[in-house]
Structure 1
Amino acid sequence: MGRMESMLEDLKTQIDILSKRGEVRSAVEDVQEVLPSSEEREDERTLPPLSDIFPIVDEYFSSTNRLLPLFDQIKFMQMLRGWYSNPDQRGSATWAAINVVLALGLLLQPHIDAGGELTVATLVKNAQSVLDEIVTREEDILSAQIVLGLCILFQESPDPQPASVLVATAVTLVHRLRLYSRSGQENLSQTDARQRDRLFWIAYVLDKSISLRAQQPPLLSDAWTDIDLPEADPIDGAGVVYSLQGTSKINFFRLRVQLGIIQGKVYDWLYSVTADKLLSAAKEQFVQSIECTLHQWEESLPREFMSNSILESAPPGTVQHLASLHWTYLHTSALIHRAHSHNQKWIQIILQRSAIVIDEPIRCAITCPQPSLPGSWSKLVSSSRACMKFWDSMLTYNEPLIWSTLCGRITGLLLLLVNNLTEPQHEMLVADQRLVEVAIQSLAPIAAKLRNRQFQQVYHACEELALKVRTLIERNINMASASEVDFLLPEVQFSSSLDETGTQPVLGLVQGLYLGHKRPEVMPINPSGEVMLQEDGVSLVINSAISGTALFSWN
């Protein structure tokens, strides 16, 4: 329209000039040739043959839409067939809705072969081209479905800003249609009322998820909501997933909505302006309350749908979505304890200490305390470990749902790295480091493409931490293989203290480490002196010249 207006202005100027020359008629004919007719504009809204797109549509409704019921399949298929059978009744909303469904089908089910001409980018561009017309038309369910579908699509793009704008538009439509209230459902069939409820909850989930990732206030208020949770076992089976073994089932949609409600509470109680004004004791109570609710949510999952089981138990077409559910759970849990990828201050403390751990391990043991680890640390680590195993078994760079779960993925990576640095002797160290290396390698092409300063900072911090842990593991392996070390140290502990006067050795107050090897024995140390034990070129130097401490170093 902008280009057409500019062309009209130019041609109007030409007409004014030509009119003075008696050539107005010719100029008007030129204008008519430039402007497209309404029939030509309609002809631009084309779709491939129905036989070409039907497999994509069918796959979308049998997988993605079954878990996140954006459209009613029967009504959509009637609309789709009407588009092809009645060309005179084609509308922009119908065309946009078909493009959205095709884009979602291709994006979330990348194994479908749609040929080179049908791409997600083209389909999204088609739907966007009529978006202004759709959102300003008379309120109806189809407009909300199109906008929410585009919001889901943009959630899976490197730039999250369009999704934020679209979810705001979707919330506006929710308010117009009064989807948040039962009062808007009078005189509706049960099917239509159920679809309205589902659209509200999809908008709710997107709103809470996007706001929490951006740490911005959500737009939908729980205080206004008068809608029941999605049914656990609806008549049409929407959201229901059975395990491959057939021994259990869940309702994915209901679980995702419940998790969205918890996400909303995390922001309201811990990250909002009001939360910032709370006393520490009140915040701690909120943390415990939300953590308990989140734990109950996880406990409601059958064993087959736990994070460490879904790769073996989830049916085809659902693994990515179930993995996304667990990534979201992990990120939400980390946000409760502020041990996540957005907490730059915490990451900086870890980086500072990691440098000392590697470069000066003995001084670190004496002068640099362990960083403050959040509550439920072991639970966070075990959840991270289970989720990080998804990296091994799934595609990454071209994986569906990679962008919407990126915060959870980076958080899981960070938590494993911090655990490896702070607990260098835990039994899962090598296995966890392998998960870390796979994740960093998989994130490399994303880091190259995503020009986001915060993501780049966190990614490079993870690279640096991974390098330090790698160095620590290699050093441990090398030193553990040296039998001379074991021969030298039958009676030596690796950190000690002198008494308060700094003149008498303390035999019992010995807490230290030698690259993670702990020993209970101690030996007397002469104050203000130096002791050296040497065997086959390996030397242990004990220096107690500093009052109150005894420093150990290896040569």
Structure 2
Amino acid sequence: MAQGPTMGTLPPKDTLLKLVKESFQGFYSAYPLFDKTRFMSVCETLGTCIDDPGQWACLNVVLALTFQFEYETAEELQELYDPDEYFRTAFALCGPLMTMHVTLWSIQALLGMALVIQGSPTQGPTSLLISAAMKLAHTMGLHRRCQNPDIGAAEVEERRRVFWIAYSLDKDLSLQMGQPSAQDDDDMDVELPSDEDSTPPDAEQETGSCALRFRAKLAMIQGRIYERLYSVKASKQAEADRVLAATELEAMLQSWRASVPSKLVEGFQGHLSEIPTSETNPYPVILHLVYFNSLAMVYDALPALPRYRELPAPCKPAELQLLAAPLVYAAEARKAIRLLQFTPPRGYACIWAVLYIFVRAATRLLRDIIDDPSAPTARPDLQLIEPLIVLLDALAQSPKGRQSERLGDMYRPCKELYGKAVSAVNRIDHAGIDWDQWITCGQSQEWADGGEFDCNGVSGDFAFAVEQQFQESTAV
């Protein structure tokens, strides 16, 4: 397949190589989809023809991701190249990718397109792309342990990473949409991605592989959450069985969190201000938010608290543990919302990808405030949520946001709850409650967040900065 005007216009070769390298330093930390050495060798051959539609689609997907995240070079070239053109070029090849000779490039291209869509205001055909990628992965046997002696170690590891990225996206989307996943966990025996001891060729690839290993383990728990709490079979189980399943799943998540190396997510055990994230490395934020969302799915599947008292005697230990679930849920929701400060804002691709998780966390806290507006955590929680509301307002008023049904489904209910929560707290103020006595750093800290609650929440400066960013932007 020769390059030409019908296939899209590429930047000059030296600019292209720079863009690709920048992209690998960014999204690659979260999704090490390609072997960098192999991919760069394809870029070096651009003086000739690219006959493989999978290679051509992958090249355009990487460029689309680079412009979407607005890395330094991409930001400088926004006026010269249409970022959407690269995605359209790749998407136009979906037919050949799914029906012609299947290659690893084909699967990587489909997954890359799904990542582009996730970082945009519209949901699009994400589920179809991920499902198609999983089916092609089955065709290539990526779900099985590789025993072919003709496949080198680097390619074996790349095949593993591709499968586990597809698997993680599949399980995450399954929980998000409440639908069965494409991969049956009983029908796979592929090894997890290598950890840091395997020493990949460079530091970024090493970090990406290590992080993906823990993301894959979390995805396996996500699969169990769906199976035991949200599947058709789970809907028919007794309430006592549901509570016990939730208890076991909560323990799995806590065990997973304890196993994550501190270098990946400092904020799990320490202060969130110490999270080692950056404009180019969103992985710590993503990993923590996926953990919170998984925990929230467990808690949301529980029966209403008063009904715990109706459980039979064998469930009493579980009852005692789960009576604390609302407090744990709220504390984890606060941690999740604080991560908004650390989510890389470039291009807002990261924000679009995880916005629904921020909204879930805020929704939980807002409902708690409405239920008990006199609680010592009510006003600090409102202050914590305010920057998210500012962000949602700005997104809803942006050109792309106004066209996003996905955003509307999140924005309207959250905005309504926020208004009710503010009104409820204001009524308490008018009733003469002395908030200075209720909210003190020493007392509300332990109550709200297990010793980690910051009475300042999210600063007003951050809320102002978010608003200013969107006022200066013509499109999101």
Interval containing the TM-score (normalised by the shorter chain)? 0.7 to 0.9
**In 1, are the aligned partners of 2:20 and 2:63 still within 8 Å (CA)?**
yes
1:332 matched to 2:284? The reply is no
Deviation at 1:166, TM superposition (A): 0.6
- Is 2:103 the counterpart of 1:144? no
Cα distance in 1, alignment partners of residues 369 and 65 from structure 2:
39
1:393 & 1:89 partners in 2: Cα distance?
39
Whether the 8 Å CA contact 2:194–2:213 is kept in 1: the answer is yes
The offset of 1:375, in angstroms, is 5.2
Deviations 1:113-164 (A, max 9, x none): 2331324311101112222223322222111111111111122233324111
Residues 421 and 314 of structure 1: CA distance in aligned 2, closer, same or farther (over 3 Å): same
- Whether the aligned pair in 2 keeps the contact of 1:59 and 1:105 (CA below 8 Å) is yes
Aligned to 1:461: 413
So what's the TM-score if we normalise by structure 1?
0.67
Do the aligned partners of residues 136 and 413 (structure 1) sit closer, same or farther apart at CA in structure 2, a change above 3 Å counting?
Answer: same
| Structure 1 residues 145 and 44: alpha-carbon distance in aligned structure 2, compared to 1, 3 A threshold | closer
Contact (CA 8 Å) 1:385, 1:412: kept in 2 or not? yes
Instruction: Give the SS at the match of 1:230.
Output: coil
Give the corresponding residue for 1:246: none
C-alpha distance in structure 1 between counterparts of 2:229 and 2:361, whole Å: 21
SS in 2 for 1:306: helix
Mapped to 1, the partners of 2:406 and 2:41 lie a distance apart of 46
Q: Quick check: 1:208–1:263 contact (8 Å CA) kept in 2?
A: yes
Q: CA contact under 8 A between 1:204 and 1:260: conserved in structure 2? A: yes
Equivalence for 2:36: 73
* C-alpha distance in 2 between matches for 1:319 and 1:183: 31
SS in 2 for 1:403: helix
Rounded to whole Å, the distance in 1 between the matches of 2:3 and 2:282 is 41
User: For 1:367-413, what per-residue CA distance to the aligned partner results, in whole angstroms no more than 9, with x for missing partners?
Assistant: xxxxxx97511111111111212334556694222233232111101
C-alpha distance in 2, partners of 1:182/1:396?
Answer: 39
- For structure 2, the residue ranges without an aligned partner over 5 or more in a row are 305-321, 435-476
TM-score, normalised via structure 2 length: 0.77
Q: Residue type of the partner of 1:116?
A: E
Contact map agreement 2:143 2:189 (CA 8 A) in 1: yes
What is the DSSP-based 3-state SS (H/G/I as helix, E as strand, rest coil) of the residue aligned with 1:116? coil
CA gap of 1:97–1:89, structure 2 versus 1, over 3 A, is: closer
Query: Is this contact kept in 1: 2:67–2:83, CA < 8 A?
Result: yes
Contact 2:107/2:136 (8 A) holds in 1 = yes
The share of aligned pairs that are identical, in percent, is 25
Sort the Cα spacing of 1:397 and 1:413 in 2 relative to 1 into closer, same or farther, 3 A: farther
1:71 Cα offset (Å): 0.6
Partner Cα distance (2:163, 2:421) in 1: 46
Question: Aligned letter for 2:59?
Answer: I
Note the 1:284-303 alignment, pairs <5 A. Answer: 284-302=243-261
Aligned to 1:47: 10
Alignment of 1:199-218 (within 5 A): 199-218=162-181
Deviations 1:205-262 (A, max 9, x none): 11111111111100111111111112221311566559xxxxxxx9321121111111
CA distance in 1, matches of 2:90, 2:81: 14
Report the counterpart of residue 225 of structure 1 in structure 2.
Answer: 188
Paired letter, 1:223: D
| Equivalent in the alignment of 1:355 | none
Q: 1:281-338 CA distances to partner (integer Å, 9 max, x unpaired)? A: 2211211111100111122235552256454341534553321222211111111121
Structure 1, unpaired ranges of 5+: 1-37, 243-249, 347-372, 483-555
Given candidates 309, 334, 338, the residue that maps to 1:389 is 338
Pair 311,253 (structure 1): closer, same or farther in 2 beyond 3 Å: farther
Q: Shift of residue 467 of structure 1?
A: 2.1
Question: Which of residues 348, 352, 357 in structure 2 aligns to 1:408?
Answer: 357
- SS where residue 90 of structure 2 aligns? helix
2:414, 2:323 → 1: CA distance?
A: 19
3-state SS of the aligned residue for 2:415? helix
Once the 2 structures are TM-superposed, how far is the Cα of residue 464 of structure 1 from its aligned partner?
Answer: 2.7
> Are residues 89 and 318 of structure 1, via their aligned partners in 2, closer, same or farther at CA, if it must alter by over 3 Å?
closer
Instruction: Tell me which protein shows more helix as a share of its residues.
Output: 2
CA distance in 1, matches of 2:409, 2:2: 52
- The structure that is strand-richer by fraction is 1
Separation in 2, partners of 1:116, 1:139: 36
Contact kept, 8 Å, 2:337 with 2:384, in 1: the verdict is yes
2:121 touches 2:407 (CA, 8 Å); kept in 1?
A: no
Count of residues paired in the alignment: 407
Do the aligned partners of residues 374 and 41 (structure 1) sit closer, same or farther apart at CA in structure 2, a change above 3 Å counting? farther
Q: Which residue in 1 is equivalent to 2:69? A: 108
CA deviation string 1:508-539 (max 9, x = no partner): xxxxxxxxxxxxxxxxxxxxxxxxxxxxxxxx
Cα gap change, 1:217 to 1:184, in 2 (>3 Å): farther
Alignment of 1:135 with 2:98, yes or no, is yes
Candidates 160, 177, 199, aligned match of 1:235? 199
Higher relative contact order (CA 8 A, sep 6+): 2
State the one-letter code of the partner of 1:419.
D
Kept in 2: contact 1:103–1:119 (CA 8 A): no
Separation in 1, partners of 2:287, 2:163: 19
What is the CA–CA distance in structure 1 between the aligned matches of 2:375 and 2:396, rounded to whole Å? Answer: 30
Any conservation in 1 of the 2:117–2:123 contact (CA below 8 Å)? yes
Change in CA separation of 1:172 and 1:42 when aligned onto 2, cut-off 3 Å? farther
Say if 2:59 is the partner of 1:98.
yes
SS at match of 2:300: coil
